[in-house]
């Protein structure tokens, strides 16, 4: 059969990334309390394509992934990239894994237990000279506006916020620890289940700890700067404002 993808292309244009997106696949993630957690992940895989090739072989991405079936995790991330490069005869390979990670949380007063969802991501690339890998978490929190609290006779406006933190690191760390750093840097954390006594507690706690979106990203940065394991980070916070028809946003990046 004719291999159309391997035919010559004469437009002289390199393609930086070509591949497959939105692969649904089970991934094993380390869980500090339970050992491991099997998550349903969405995976994107790409390679570079030199200008003289017409196309790439899309099926080979899935073949490379299937060789690591049941073993897809942080430790096998780089080997998967190398296998992808080999199978597709590429100079560089890229992969991104996005998944929902669940932690059991205990309400502060009633001690009611529930599962809280966090979006997490692994992302990396590899070529003949070097490899790169980073981990990210998306943590929903609550923030109370310091300005609103200062100028209002009654209460202060608050809102749910989403904080996305991506890090490069030297050695293993727990996802749970990064989530806690983010939650401790906001006005308050979120829970799936709260009773009335819990609602009173978290509302008053947040009111006593107002934070601008700028405060949140800076607080996280200060904590990460104290740990030399983290060689790089990018922290983004978005407040879904309750009294404006827009969001407030801040970003800080190391290096």
Query: Would you state the pLDDT for residue 50?
Result: 74
Which residues neighbour 83 within 8 Å (Cβ) at sequence distance 6 or greater? 64, 67, 68
Query: Would you state the pLDDT for residue 6?
Result: 61
CA 222 to chain centre: 19
Query: Would you state the pLDDT for residue 129?
Result: 87
| Neighbouring-strand partners of residue 36 | 30
Query: Would you state the pLDDT for residue 13?
Result: 82
Tokens 């829970």 belong to residue: 191
Q: Which top CATH class is 1-102? A: alpha beta
Residue extents of the structural domains in the chain: 1-102, 130-255
Tokens 């009611």 belong to residue: 112
pLDDT tens, position by position, for the chain (255 residues)? 655 566 665 677 888 899 999 999 999 898 999 999 999 999 999 999 876 667 678 899 999 999 998 888 888 899 999 999 999 989 999 999 999 999 999 999 999 999 999 999 999 999 988 899 999 999 999 999 999 999 999 989 999 999 999 999 999 999 999 999 999 999 999 999 999 999 999 999 999 999 999 999 999 999 999 999 999 999 999 999 999 999 999 999 998
The yes-or-no answer to whether 1-102 and 130-255 have a common fold is: yes
Q: What is the fold of 130-255?
A: Urate Oxidase (3.10.270)
Q: Which of 217, 248, 252, 223 is CA-nearest to residue 145?
A: 248
Query: Would you state the pLDDT for residue 72?
Result: 84
CB 201 within 8 A of CB 108: yes
Which residues neighbour 84 within 8 Å (Cβ) at sequence distance 6 or greater? 45, 47, 60, 61, 64, 90, 93, 95
């Amino acid at each position: 059969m004719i291999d159309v993808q391997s035919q010559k292309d004469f437009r002289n244009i390199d393609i930086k990334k070509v591949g497959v997106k939105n692969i649904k696949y089970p991934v094993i993630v380390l869980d500090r309390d339970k050992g491991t957690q099997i998550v349903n992940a969405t995976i994107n895989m790409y390679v570079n394509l030199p200008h003289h090739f017409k196309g790439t072989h899309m099926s080979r991405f899935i073949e490379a992934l299937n060789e690591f079936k049941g073993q897809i995790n942080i430790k096998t991330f780089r080997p998967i990239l190398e296998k992808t490069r080999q199978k597709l005869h590429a100079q560089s390979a890229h992969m991104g894994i996005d998944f929902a990670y669940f932690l059991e949380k205990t309400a502060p007063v009633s001690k009611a237990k529930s599962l809280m969802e966090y979006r997490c991501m692994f992302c990396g690339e590899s070529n003949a000279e070097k490899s790169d890998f980073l981990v990210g978490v998306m943590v929903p929190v609550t923030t109370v506006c310091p300005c609103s609290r200062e100028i209002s006779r009654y209460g202060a406006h608050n809102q749910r916020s989403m904080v996305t933190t991506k890090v490069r690191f030297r050695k293993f760390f727990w996802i749970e620890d990064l989530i806690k750093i983010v939650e401790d840097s906001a006005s308050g954390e979120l829970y799936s289940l709260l009773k009335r006594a819990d609602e009173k507690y978290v509302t008053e706690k947040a009111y006593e700890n107002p934070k601008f979106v700028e405060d949140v990203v800076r607080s996280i940065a200060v904590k990460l700067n104290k740990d030399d394991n983290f060689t790089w980070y990018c922290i983004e916070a978005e407040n879904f404002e309750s009294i404006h028809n827009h969001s407030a946003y801040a970003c800080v990046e190391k290096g």
